[in-house]
Chain A
């Protein structure tokens, strides 16, 4: 202490401290005065105002949920609608007998399932007795009428009007449009939960999911007066909700139905793109399902039926189905071979029925057992020679196959604005090392170059890749959104198509070589699809067929008849095409699961879709010819 005293001036320091304490005291008095002034303002000056807001009638904020935006196709046809729906509510407090007996009596005039009852009792426990709890959602008109007649007998039961999401296109576009369902805790974790106060539904699948934040809108609030028991007396203030944006999709619903029906009773997918914008014109996955079933919560029986269906209707084949692309990859591989200069397109190559690799007895067969003879590149594509492409593949090598395949988008998600897309596989040395922990074998190069082995692609990727050829390397990212409309301002914003990084070839003539060959597939008398696709054409079309093996054939065995193979082991039928050749309006990929021949099964479906679309563009002239042809075909 003594040392401290020596260097410190205690008297001065004490004086300083007293001054500071007085200053602090002053600050204290000012702040307390401020606080008291504020409380006096609230409790004396504004007392009667706050009194009325509190004492007799209390106000409550109630959320006004927004109306969900509608979804239209490119021609303004509704794809997702909000329909007036009537639900039956019970207010337990106002029921004169017991709730149980009221429900029992109600079930005689409206259909009430056990699931309805279960939902009612769960919700009822969480709701005050003076509030209504729904016992039935989506009453039919007949049920509404029956209840109205008997209304007197049911005190405490009332019909409430609301909106219910419905999907006019139903199964035809279920995978693309998607559906909404009840909000779960997991859904809420992914969104701004403030926007979902008062809402009961959220997008689960398809466009309803991917554009959820545009479609949903913003909730409003209503200030209501309630009495001491909490019953609503009347409305004081209203801040209306902001409805969600309406969406216009690139989809053409007429084309969508035609594509769906064209698949007949087979499972598969059809994707049609507008190559000039990347807009999806049709995207079908068959079989479809009824999306309306999901809106108010699907019943367990219906859900089990969908899940156990061997044809897997809930699965979106167009985006998620990963199929070996088979011979449909040959045009892309041909471009790789031309660009790297490993082949001369005009040079004829000897193509017997099979080849073997040095040091191996394994026979890599051509689909045509007798072989194709001396053929050049154009003929190899037209006739889909496997042996020509085995030889081409050996020269090109897996690294270039991977490089050019990737350039056309294989093995990568297209980035379409729809959820849960699969990437397929574009194999490479690195891919095989990473996934199989094995080196690359030369034989695998041969089967990759004809789209077999490890390689898989989604129907969307195939449509995307053929769009690149159609646009000579200047394609756009596939998308389903065309425009959206702000409901308040009425302003329509057009979606800007996003150009993909261009594929620029060293020699632009290579596009034409491959396109000419693809035209030959359909037009040339030796083309694989000539008979199935190329009859009575009114426009130039380029295409390529593919048949993807599902199970390997035993060596030396002759290919058996389609009917004699079990369904699950039959080949997938594929076809890719675009038209018209010099001014492409549509690019199509068709996959028919276990359909057999690509040209014979998938080809006519592609033709039907392209005919219909081009016909709709030109106003009916083109299609009439082909329809007559079709009818003639079925009559004979």
Chain B
């Protein structure tokens, strides 16, 4: 599509895109994903136009944020990332002290105008801060640098665990871990960390909240709690399995529409999608996600300094983890954790924050071209 358009009006479009710092391939893939998501939501929400419009508005806000952020040159992110990181940590502390408690957890901060989860800021800014930290240092990192980077991850993670919001904490660790991995963390340290994590698992287990333990136990044996969390998994497996290769067709997923599938428009939307669109639809969705991640890694490889490389690669890989964790959970591969399906699940914070991170990627890619000339 881009080539034909470019062929018709070559100079104007590429100039226009370059002027607005937009990466066309990434934009098209993201728009495909968002559009697909709106269709899925229409079905999953029981044909609620309200939810679709609501989601479209949020996507619009996210796209505006993305393009705005793409205008900012990448070195600006490098300079501000540590400060944003500090603000994020302070907001997390504020959340613990005066946040709104919803269902026994303090996650939300009400700033009068907007009500949001400060942990989302940390999710985005932790990889950036680590990238900025390694920017001036020799890679692969020395042990002291690794420990310092570990501390950068540990502070917000510790605060988020206090809320308690284990899912987000794991995702922040994943984001920071990706950055460290791309920075060249030695394999033997990676191996050591894996062994340590396995050894610490029992300790970790006893510090989990009751409901968190329940989720893991239910994941291991869904029949344990056939009416509770096991019900989610059983029902979503029925939805996916009954979809078959070709799916039941859009708006025909009986599992979701007869209210068998809980949270069908948020965390479990993938089950509705797989039921209605079958294996082919799932492969199609994975292709879109795969393309977005591949494009992100390509941008990383093409980028010109350490900060940009680490930022672009870790943001892309984290995006992949979000998608993988959600689909793996819905398909019964992973325990139930509250991670939405990127760009598709109903929910504003996730949509806006993800598009924001793609804004950073576009900034890295488009400004590179300008610097190169």
Contact = CB atoms under 8 A, between A and B. Distances in A.
Contacts of A161: none
Interface in B221-260: 226-228, 231, 237-245, 254-255, 258, 260
B254 A24 contact: no
A20 B181 contact: yes
A55 B252 CA distance: 11
A36 B205 CA distance: 30
B160 interface: no
Interface in A18-55: 18, 20-21, 24-25, 28, 31-32, 34-36, 38-40, 42-44, 46-47, 49-51, 53-55
Contact of A61 (B184, B231, B283): B231
A39 B317 contact: no
B139 interface: yes
B138 A9 contact: yes
Interface of B: 135-136, 138-140, 178, 181-182, 184, 226-228, 231, 237-245, 254-255, 258, 260, 274, 278-279, 282-283, 286, 290, 293, 297, 300-301, 305-306, 309, 313, 317, 320, 324, 327-328, 331-333
A197 B231 CA distance: 15
Given A21-B301, A35-B327, A47 B242 contact: yes
Contact of B241 (A49, A63, A239): A49
Given A25-B297, A38-B333, A63 B227 contact: yes
A16 interface: yes
Nearest to A8: B138
Give the size range of A's interface with the partner: 35 or more
Nearest to B253: A54
B297 A44 contact: no
Nearest to B240: A42
Given A13-B306, A42-B241, A24 B313 contact: yes
A58 interface: yes
Nearest to B225: A194
25 contacts: A7-B138, A16-B139, A17-B184, A17-B309, A18-B301, A20-B182, A20-B313, A24-B297, A25-B297, A28-B293, A28-B320, A32-B324, A35-B286, A36-B283, A38-B328, A39-B279, A43-B278, A44-B245, A47-B244, A50-B237, A51-B242, A51-B244, A54-B238, A55-B254, A58-B258
A95 interface: no
Given A35-B333, A51-B244, 20 more contacts: A1-B305, A4-B135, A8-B138, A9-B138, A17-B313, A20-B182, A24-B182, A24-B317, A25-B297, A28-B293, A28-B320, A34-B328, A36-B286, A38-B333, A39-B331, A44-B279, A50-B237, A51-B242, A54-B239, A55-B242
Q: Is the interface of B mostly helix, strand, loop or mixed?
A: helix
B211 to A, nearest CB: 11
Contacts of A34: 328, 333
A164 interface: no
Q: Is the interface of A mostly helix, strand, loop or mixed?
A: helix
A43 B282 contact: yes
A318 B264 CA distance: 55
Contacts of B313: 17, 20-21, 24
A145 B135 CA distance: 89
Contacts of B293: 28
Nearest to A49: B241
A303 B345 CA distance: 51
